[in-house]
A and B are shown apart, each in its own frame.
Chain A
Amino acid sequence: MSRHVFRDIRGTLQPFWVTLRNLFRKPVTVQYPEQKQQLPERYRARLILTRDPDGGERCVACHLCSAACPVDCISMQATEAADGRRYAAWFRINFTRCIFCGLCTEACPTKAIQVTADFELAGRDPLKLVYEKVDLLVDHCGNDNSYNFYHQTGIGVTAPRGENPQETKPMDVKDLMP
């Protein structure tokens, strides 16, 4: 019985001690929105469409992000430029539906779609969270300053056919040399 008396006294006093100890510490609360917090580098929030080092749109509207998206919040339509480049005529992300899982960025073969740390997406009008291509496309390369899909792939869009570094010149198909 006496055992319990001491336990109960300690249980009553200990919280007071914890409170007392923290009373004089520096507070950890950040006064958001007046103060902004430094977020981790890999924080996943609002998505962007980046450009390649040459300034062209990276997105080729291949539909892989929309296929990977578990909540179906990405939709797009591909179209063709005069030089044969495939790009998105329109590209729409519905951020009211997005769960910021980042699977789209992992699926993207051209490093076009990337996450940013901008999480401030709350609003009163849901339609304002339906982002079109003009809202998504940025003027930088995001987290990779070197990759250009069309320099890796051999179908002659940014460079003439067979002019990429890892390719030979197009065959002369009428050549009969052994």
Chain B
Amino acid sequence: MVTLTIDNQTVTVPAGTTVLEAAQKLGIVVPHLCYHKELGAVGSCRMCAVMIHKGTLTGLKMSCLIAVEEGMVVTTTDERSMALREQVGEWLMLNHPHDCPVCDEGGECQLQEMTIAVGHGRRRYTGKKHTYPNQDLGPFIAQEMNRCIHCYRCARTYKDYCGGRDFGVMGSRNRVTFGRFADGMLQSDFSGNLIDFCPTGVFTDRTFRFTSRFWDLQEADSVCSHCGVGCAVIPGGRLHQLQRVRSGTNAAVNGSFLCDRGRFGFDYGRHPERPRRARRDGQEVAVDVALEALMSDARALIDAEGPEAVLLLGSERASLESNWLLQRLAKELGCRVPVLSPHARRHQAAQAVAFDLSHQLASLADVRTADVAVVFGVDPLAEAPLLALALRQIVRQGGRVVVCDPRPVELPFAFEHQPLSPLALHELLGGGDMDGKHLRDLLRQAKQPVLVAGADLLGTAGLRHVHSLAQRIATDDRACPIYPVLAGANSFGAALLSLPEQDDLMTRLEGDHVRMMICLETDPLVEGPDGKPLGERLARLEKLVVFDYLPTAVAARADTFIPTCPPVEASGTFINSEGRLRRFERVLAPGASLAHKEDGAHPPRAFFLTQPDSEPLPAPRLLQRLLGGETSLAQIQAEMVMDRPRLAALPQLKAGEEGERVAATVARALPEEKLPEQPAGTLQLVVSPARYGSDLLSRYARQLTPRLTTACVYLHPEDAERHGVQEGDRVDLDTRFGRFTLPLALSETLARGCALVENSAALPEPIPGSGISFCRIGRGGANG
């Protein structure tokens, strides 16, 4: 630790801290533009000048570049440094177009703030301003190069931190510009970070263009619900419409970064077909009427037919509170405990993470600081995009990343890819051939190893193998934590709440004793692997009740439908993949949007006491009404802690904070799973989520349409040759999910003996995480 004096106040900071950061610790803001806590300093804006009176280097210095020294004396408000900063501010504004009224950054612009902070207020220069050409960077990012101050933050964000390759610094002298070589959509899955990191209005959110001012937005700390990573986000809305999402900050999870799926895929809650009214037998009814009817139906059925007659289904998308209240409802009704996920195998894998691996889970920050990471069965950009960024930081610091996965994994950095088929991957983890030895040696020599395990591909058995591998690698002086990748925002939470020995959905629906099913914020038809048989079984139910905020297939079939609120319209808790409790707060109240952008339109001139379409209620409140008696969320949480001691940190949890981890527990003893035998002449089927349009939320987010891909089958060229098919052919793929006729694409980096299909809006039937299965491929028959 080093002690120094800044503006007559002493502060003690760790060695290596810069003077700027030390001043920030004292609450002194030294004006700065190119420095950002995630990106570090480059000293290109020259604005953070301070006077160093005592130290190795004295005089006027850039505080972002000078490391603190013992006994250093610094002033930030002396005449010379203030004068220099004002002059630098004036220089930076020489070519600025002064178009703040029409700039979307206005109000949250660091250049505005810093220009005022340095005291530059009147333009003296009378010469001409430089102008630059703009580029069309696609539907997500708008560029206005004239506003640029050449701080290089965009290039450092996009290229250095996120590893994008199609964006950079171009030109020389005062012609330096930042952009692509040619017009076109930015290819990186992290392009949206340019919006947050650009300190002026060069890169602004095109989906939010001319929509609202920062100061008019209702904002709250929330959690992204697109995948299991649980990044901190700050959604903002106005006029009852969610209008944008920006990245929040959570040092343990996402730092200050966000992927494009989370940033631009927020508009599922404003889908035009979002059901906002309660419905019973095709008739719109009041929510309370529907709730009462549903309760009396359930009671009557249980009285007549016993506790098996009613089946409750929770979800990995619903909050922890909703799932717990669903369990309470089951107790109240006297029926069997709810199934908390429509996807049994995924749920079991999440339970393996929540129970067996709980004492050695890594956080995403642990991944960023590791020196060797071995990834088993994860395609990070598809399953947990921020994990790809974390892994990139390992490589940037000189570490190594090895990915063992059948898919043609693409990552924004150099890594070693071992294309292993699912069976080979299980054998590698379970057995001990040469490849496994090479990996073990690599991990043993590492100072800070970390394992990444994909629950979808590995399943319970694979996760337990990874667990025992981690235990073998760990020594007394250094641990080997595991970062698990789970699919849903609350997969961990649902797994933690449910009982390990519970039956899965299809087992429970066997026979005819289930007469009524209540689905809470889930569509088992497309979120579980048994869509077809389940659809037939649902048709034989007497009552199907659905609570949801998306216009799903099962919602359309429901006898009773009750509208709920997406996470931005409710408060609650998720548990992310690493077992971290993440609180989200309500941003907006539900209701019909009053935002009109068409010419001449305006909000209605009639005024109502209640907002139209504000019937949807958060699921916990609806469930409490069913249980008879509404209490606050804090009271529910207190009761939850009594019931589940592992959630001890729940009541103190605050939105926007790092979030506590759930308490660890001892691993369970489970029998070994046997791997299936591969029938001759078949290929192993690999189902991967597509980067966009696989999770149900992004499927209903229409803003993501430009990023959607078409469906095809991927094969290794050798396999294609063996099966007599060529690239571009339409081929028939016979799988456990049915027959698909799709175009064929070849990939050199795909594991041999595998056929890969992506689960997306274009091909929703194959479901990832459904275990090892086999398929047959042939040239397209009838329509080939």
| Chain A residues with a Cβ under 8 A of chain B | 60-64, 66-67, 75, 77-80, 86, 89-90, 92, 109-110, 127, 130, 132-134, 149, 152-157, 161-162, 166-176, 178
Closest-CB distance, B140 to chain A (whole angstroms): 16
Asked if B781 lies at the interface with its beta carbon under 8 angstroms from chain A, I say: no
| Set of chain A residues within 8 Å of B91, measured between Cβ atoms | none
In the complex, the answer to whether B171 meets A174 with C-beta atoms within 8 Å is: yes
Q: Name which of B154-162, B486-494, B599-607 contacts chain A.
A: B599-607
In the complex, the answer to whether B210 meets A173 with C-beta atoms within 8 Å is: no
CB within 8 Å for A154 and B97 given contacts A79-B597, A168-B128: yes
Closest-CB distance, B523 to chain A (whole angstroms): 34
A-B contact pairs, 22 of them (CB 8 A): A61-B210, A62-B101, A63-B213, A63-B215, A77-B597, A77-B602, A78-B210, A79-B210, A79-B598, A90-B601, A92-B602, A109-B101, A130-B605, A154-B99, A154-B146, A155-B144, A167-B128, A167-B129, A168-B130, A171-B131, A171-B175, A175-B171
Closest-CB distance, A52 to chain B (whole angstroms): 13
In the complex, the answer to whether A127 meets B605 with C-beta atoms within 8 Å is: yes
In the complex, the answer to whether B216 meets A63 with C-beta atoms within 8 Å is: yes
In the complex, the answer to whether B602 meets A168 with C-beta atoms within 8 Å is: no
In the complex, the answer to whether A62 meets B146 with C-beta atoms within 8 Å is: no
- Among residues of B, the one whose C-beta sits closest to the C-beta of A67 is B215
| Set of chain B residues within 8 Å of A62, measured between Cβ atoms | 100-102, 106, 213
CB within 8 Å for A154 and B129 given contacts A61-B210, A86-B102, A110-B101: yes
Asked if B534 lies at the interface with its beta carbon under 8 angstroms from chain A, I say: no
In the complex, the answer to whether A173 meets B128 with C-beta atoms within 8 Å is: no
Apart from A79-B597, A80-B209, A171-B132, 16 more pairs, CB < 8 Å = A63-B213, A64-B101, A77-B602, A86-B102, A90-B601, A109-B100, A153-B101, A155-B144, A162-B131, A167-B128, A168-B130, A171-B131, A171-B133, A173-B132, A173-B177, A175-B175
A129–B605 alpha-carbon span in the complex (Å) = 11
How many A-B residue contacts, CB cutoff 8 Å? 118
Q: Which 6 A-B pairs have the closest CB atoms?
A: A154-B97, A90-B602, A62-B101, A162-B131, A153-B99, A78-B210
| Chain B residues with a Cβ under 8 A of chain A | 97-102, 106, 128-134, 144, 146, 170-177, 209-213, 215-216, 239, 595-603, 605
A174–B176 alpha-carbon span in the complex (Å) = 9
| Set of chain B residues within 8 Å of A86, measured between Cβ atoms | 101-102, 210
A161–B98 alpha-carbon span in the complex (Å) = 14
- Among residues of B, the one whose C-beta sits closest to the C-beta of A59 is B101
| Set of chain B residues within 8 Å of A109, measured between Cβ atoms | 100-101
In the complex, the answer to whether A170 meets B597 with C-beta atoms within 8 Å is: no
In the complex, the answer to whether B596 meets A60 with C-beta atoms within 8 Å is: no
A168–B130 alpha-carbon span in the complex (Å) = 5
In the complex, the answer to whether B172 meets A176 with C-beta atoms within 8 Å is: yes
In the complex, the answer to whether A77 meets B596 with C-beta atoms within 8 Å is: yes
A156–B97 alpha-carbon span in the complex (Å) = 10
Q: Is the interface of B mostly helix, strand, loop or mixed?
A: loop
CB within 8 Å for A166 and B101 given contacts A89-B596, A127-B605: no
| Set of chain A residues within 8 Å of B173, measured between Cβ atoms | 178
In the complex, the answer to whether B101 meets A89 with C-beta atoms within 8 Å is: no
| Set of chain B residues within 8 Å of A178, measured between Cβ atoms | 172-173
In the complex, the answer to whether A67 meets B213 with C-beta atoms within 8 Å is: yes
A155–B128 alpha-carbon span in the complex (Å) = 14
In the complex, the answer to whether B129 meets A173 with C-beta atoms within 8 Å is: no
In the complex, the answer to whether B175 meets A173 with C-beta atoms within 8 Å is: yes
| Set of chain B residues within 8 Å of A132, measured between Cβ atoms | 602
In the complex, the answer to whether A60 meets B102 with C-beta atoms within 8 Å is: yes
Which listed residue (A67, A155, A171, A174) contacts B102, Cβ 8 A?
A155
Which listed residue (B106, B128, B177, B239) contacts A171, Cβ 8 A?
B177
In the complex, the answer to whether B97 meets A153 with C-beta atoms within 8 Å is: yes
In the complex, the answer to whether A167 meets B101 with C-beta atoms within 8 Å is: no
A133–B600 alpha-carbon span in the complex (Å) = 8
| Set of chain A residues within 8 Å of B212, measured between Cβ atoms | 63
- Among residues of B, the one whose C-beta sits closest to the C-beta of A165 is B128
CB within 8 Å for A173 and B597 given contacts A62-B106, A80-B209, A153-B102: no
In the complex, the answer to whether B211 meets A171 with C-beta atoms within 8 Å is: no
- Among residues of B, the one whose C-beta sits closest to the C-beta of A109 is B101
In the complex, the answer to whether B213 meets A171 with C-beta atoms within 8 Å is: no
| Set of chain A residues within 8 Å of B131, measured between Cβ atoms | 154, 156, 161-162, 167-171
B100, B128, B209, B216, most chain A CB atoms within 10 A: B128
Which listed residue (B97, B101, B133, B597) contacts A60, Cβ 8 A?
B101
A153–B96 alpha-carbon span in the complex (Å) = 9
In the complex, the answer to whether A90 meets B596 with C-beta atoms within 8 Å is: yes
In the complex, the answer to whether B98 meets A90 with C-beta atoms within 8 Å is: no
A75–B488 alpha-carbon span in the complex (Å) = 39
Which listed residue (B146, B172, B213, B596) contacts A155, Cβ 8 A?
B146
| Set of chain B residues within 8 Å of A66, measured between Cβ atoms | 216
CB within 8 Å for A171 and B210 given contacts A77-B597, A127-B605, A154-B146: no
A71–B455 alpha-carbon span in the complex (Å) = 55
A132–B605 alpha-carbon span in the complex (Å) = 10
| Set of chain A residues within 8 Å of B598, measured between Cβ atoms | 79, 89
